[in-house]
Copies of this chain bind each other. A is one copy, B any other.
């Protein structure tokens, strides 16, 4: 199987970052889940008053692009850290889920949305 996601570098960077600040005791699964929720909220705020056209063109505005990039990173970083502390291999998780989705939504004629 080819690699779908490789987050080894980020896992290592976050472990080192947390250890250097003695933050490991705070990085429990439930704390990280709440922190992830907070960052998803900040990401949602970017889109809340935008039309679909505006949302699709965020990258054209450097300040908005930087903001979007930062919030996407925050969500990804807490997600990867949560997977790390709960012992989940995200590459295997994604590979499994793609297979399940392929069975659930066959390509031939399916139009239903998940």
Chain A to chain B contacts (Cβ below 8 Å), 26 pairs: A3-B9, A4-B10, A5-B5, A5-B80, A21-B111, A22-B111, A26-B49, A29-B52, A29-B58, A30-B30, A30-B34, A30-B50, A31-B48, A34-B44, A35-B49, A39-B41, A58-B86, A59-B86, A65-B87, A68-B88, A69-B92, A70-B97, A72-B93, A76-B76, A76-B79, A79-B79
The number of residues on chain A lying at the interface, defined by a beta carbon within 8 Å of a beta carbon of chain B, is 75
How many monomers of this chain does the complex have?
4
The smallest beta-carbon distance between A56 and chain B, in angstroms, is 6
Listed in ascending order, the chain A residues whose CB lies under 8 Å from chain B are: 2-7, 9-10, 13, 17, 20-23, 26, 28-31, 33-45, 47-50, 52, 55-56, 58-59, 65, 68-70, 72-77, 79-80, 82-83, 85-90, 92-94, 96-98, 100-102, 105, 107, 110-111, 113
Q: Which residues of B contact A75 (CB under 8 A)?
A: 79
Please state if A20 and B96 are interface contacts (CB–CB under 8 Å). Answer: no
